[in-house]
Amino acid sequence: MRYFARKIAFFLATLWAAITLNFVIPRLQPGDPAEVMVQKLAGKDAQLNPAAVEAMRAMLGAPDGSLFHQYVEYLKALAHGDFGLSYTYYPYPVTEVIGQALPWTLVLVGVTQVLAFVIGITLGAFAAWRRNSRFDGIVTLGSTFVGTLPGFWIALLLLFIFGYTMGWFPTGGGYSATTPGLNAAFLGDAAYHSILPALSLLVTAPIGWILGMRNTMVMNLGEDYIRLAKAKGLPDKVVALRYAARNALLPSVTGFAIALGGVLGGSILVEQIYDYPGMGRLMAEAIGNRDFPLLQTLLLFIIIGVLLANLVADLLYGVLDPRARRSQS
């Protein structure tokens, strides 16, 4: 019981620290969002009117007063679920803007993360069981080579070949002229637009799982309990799956949970390249426009998602492995 109490207490302390940093870091960024918006409206070379800047700041509801006063007001707003208005998409609330982008990222990045995990641990486990074989060499060396390729370069290459040259897939956007809705035409069109972004993520996403699973399983294959299982005459399939792979999977649980928690952040580069209407593109716009309310809320969602996923992984780890609970006692 002490193990679970310590994990929950650590989660709460980390959450408070993350909320505080989430408040401070965007305010360290130079520039004034009100000045940026007035400059866009007036023109690049136009001289800023101080009165227009003050009016824009009042219209946006930009925070004023001391940093401590802003922090207190920020905590009060969080307690009431008020994340403010987006500077970029004024006058829409931040929650409404995020609500429109979140489903796109959950489907694209969430599905690719699950597929990458399944593909990665499967290939890694089989490569470890057939270590030093041709398959092991191809998987290990191939994963190492592909892992050195930049993700944006892979996305641009796929876009150039299959989008512009061959014309097999759309070159951008999340859907075409189809009216959004829960109907077969729109869902099929959205799936068609997501193929190239998903492939761009799937090329490199399984690599970490492949190498991690292989290395952990190779170490487990040298343990005494594996030799005992083989000496008892158990089939190779049983030894590989129920003994070696099962224990090698435990360290991957935490990593997979954190990866799922980070899904809320989307993939900034891929979504920018394909103009995909997800959370990654939204974050890039918030950074470029100094949209503090939107940026803070996006970062907060990502942080809470990762922390919750990490907490679930820790609690699940304590259930799956009694040694973790005893080490904390």
Do 77 and 114 belong together in one domain? no
Do 127 and 71 belong together in one domain? no
Please report, for the domain that includes residue 288, its CATH number: 1.10.3720.10
> Tokens standing for 312?
């679930």
Q: How confident is the model at residue 315 (pLDDT cuts 50, 70, 90)?
A: confident
Do 162 and 296 belong together in one domain? yes
Q: Which residue would you say has higher pLDDT here, 216 or 313?
A: 216
Number of domains, the chain: 2
Q: Is residue 7 part of a domain?
A: no
Q: Is residue 139 part of a domain?
A: yes
Do 216 and 305 belong together in one domain? yes
Q: Is residue 247 part of a domain?
A: yes
pTM of the model: 0.69
Do 213 and 314 belong together in one domain? yes
Q: Is residue 314 part of a domain?
A: yes
Q: Tell me the residue range of the domain where 181 lies.
A: 99-328
Summary mean pLDDT of the chain:
76
Residue 123 pLDDT exceeds 60? yes
Do 249 and 293 belong together in one domain? yes
Q: Is residue 20 part of a domain?
A: no
Residue 26 pLDDT exceeds 70? no
What does the pLDDT look like over 64-84, one tens digit per residue? 666 777 788 778 878 877 777
Q: How confident is the model at residue 262 (pLDDT cuts 50, 70, 90)?
A: low
Do 140 and 259 belong together in one domain? yes
Do 36 and 105 belong together in one domain? no
Do 64 and 189 belong together in one domain? no
Q: What distance in Å separates the CA atoms of residue 199 and residue 201, rounded to the nearest whole number?
A: 5
Residue 105 pLDDT exceeds 80? yes
Do 156 and 209 belong together in one domain? yes
